[in-house]
Amino acid sequence: MYSSKITGLGYYVPENVVTNNDLKQWMDTSDEWIQERTGIKERRWIDPKTEDTTAVMGAKAAKIAIDRAGLTKDDIDFIVFATLSPDMYFPGGGVQIQDLLDMPTIGALDVRNQCSGFIYSLSVADQFIKTGMYKNILVIGSENHSGGLERSTRGRGVTVIFGDGAGAAVLSRSEEKGKGILSSHLHSEGKHAKELALIGPSTNRWVPEIMEDNDPEDVSYFPHMNGQFVFKHAVVRFSEAIIEGLTANGLQKDDIDMLIPHQANLRIAQFIQKKFQLSDDKVYNNIMRYGNTTAASIIIALTEAWEEGKIKDNDLVVLAAFGSGFTWGSVVIKW
């Protein structure tokens, strides 16, 4: 068995900054409420006049990651692409990346695990590399939330949280024992699917049906979140996933050098930090600047932490996520 390690990281966020005060033009909200409840100060929302889309942002992040890995597009054997906001209902975004980067006709797999999307994608890529099937895999998380959010007071509980952006990693084969991805643990609990979901349009509720009903109260085409219910589950599942990852490797919380939690809410990350008694330099958060970018959040944060020199050789890096599905999981990496 080989091991797999991250050899390149990159991210891209749209230039357009939307502050909490900017949101007041659409809804009854305040900078104070948003910061106090979520920690978010601003987010990036795609300017529709630009070329950016979920796939385009993913391709921009991917180019940086491939370059930093010291590779070219022709060295990549496979693409794993995570998003809940694809450019098209079908096909998925992975094939768009293959085309946008003018890559050879390699396989492209789409992962739909929302905020856990990057954790699931990394785990999938890890299995392909460990078995020897592929040498270099491009793993991408990208989201264009802004186009599909309800910009009104009715939608404010969800809309203020989400931001756009993309991150990418190159996962490569390695023969160094005890380094790279040590473990991944993945979970789901579908009975809570509708607590955080975008119900329609879907095969269960096609557009003609929605139009025929013409019910102004039916906004099932906007995301719905039972915030407090999700919050309560998140703090429990985040902790479980981290403990599961540490235990599987015979490690303790004191062994963690860097925890990158999915950026869902700064209060959730702070709760986890306190629970695991981690100092500020051992947890990386950027939700203040980007909001929740779902499948892109962990990889953007990981890239920034690495760029800032906060992740060094031999560090123990723990990634953990929880989100819609519900889905959750962790990845433990020896850098």
Rounded to the nearest whole angstrom, what is the least distance from the CB of residue 115 to ligand ACO in the complex? 3
Rounded to the nearest whole angstrom, what is the least distance from the CB of residue 280 to ligand ACO in the complex? 21
Judged by beta carbon, residue 136 or residue 220, the one nearer ligand ACO is 220
Residues 40-69 that bind ligand ACO (CB under 6 A): none
Looking at 323, 328, 332, 333, which residue binds ligand ACO (CB under 6 A)?
323
Give the pairing type, strands 165-174 and 316-323: unpaired
Compute CA 2 distance to the chain's CA centroid, rounded to the nearest angstrom.
26
Looking at 100, 101, 154, 157, which residue binds ligand ACO (CB under 6 A)?
157
Judged by beta carbon, residue 24 or residue 312, the one nearer ligand ACO is 24
DSSP bridge partners of 181: 333
Cα distance between residue 167 and residue 56, in whole Å = 11
Looking at 3, 114, 121, 303, which residue binds ligand ACO (CB under 6 A)?
114
Contact indicator for 119, 184 with CB cutoff of 8 Å: yes
136, amino acid identity: N
20 binds ligand ACO (CB under 6 A): no
Looking at 80, 160, 269, 298, which residue binds ligand ACO (CB under 6 A)?
160
Rounded to the nearest whole angstrom, what is the least distance from the CB of residue 174 to ligand ACO in the complex? 31
223 to 252: interface string for ligand ACO, x by CB under 6 A: ----xx-xx--x------------------
- Select from 192, 209, 181 the least CA-distant residue to 322: 192
Looking at 196, 266, 296, 318, which residue binds ligand ACO (CB under 6 A)?
196
Q: List, in order, residues 6 or more apart from 37 with CB less than 8 Å away.
A: 265, 267
Q: Which residue is nearest to ligand ACO (CB)?
A: 323
Piece of the chain touching ligand ACO by CB under 6 A; list 32-40, 68-76, 178-186, 308-316: 32-40
Cα distance between residue 307 and residue 320, in whole Å = 20
- Select from 271, 301, 272, 270 the least CA-distant residue to 284: 301
Looking at 16, 37, 202, 253, which residue binds ligand ACO (CB under 6 A)?
37
- Structure token pair of residue 101: 């980067």
59 CB-contact burial (10 Å; exposed 0-12 / middle 13-18 / buried 19+): buried
Catalytic residue annotation? 115, 262, 292
Judged by beta carbon, residue 245 or residue 291, the one nearer ligand ACO is 291
Cα distance between residue 275 and residue 284, in whole Å = 15
191 CB-contact burial (10 Å; exposed 0-12 / middle 13-18 / buried 19+): exposed
What SS3 state is found at 335? Answer: coil
Judged by beta carbon, residue 20 or residue 53, the one nearer ligand ACO is 20
38 binds ligand ACO (CB under 6 A): yes
Size of the site for ligand ACO (CB under 6 A): 24
Cα distance between residue 325 and residue 189, in whole Å = 6
Judged by beta carbon, residue 119 or residue 316, the one nearer ligand ACO is 119
294 binds ligand ACO (CB under 6 A): yes
Bond preceding residue 223 cis, omega within 30 of 0: no
Judged by beta carbon, residue 28 or residue 209, the one nearer ligand ACO is 28
Cα distance between residue 44 and residue 300, in whole Å = 13
Cα distance between residue 87 and residue 54, in whole Å = 6
Piece of the chain touching ligand ACO by CB under 6 A; list 62-70, 91-99, 155-163, 214-222: 155-163
Give me the residues that bind ligand ACO (CB under 6 A), please: 29, 33-34, 37-38, 114-115, 156-157, 160-161, 196, 227-228, 230-231, 234, 264-265, 268, 292, 294, 323-324
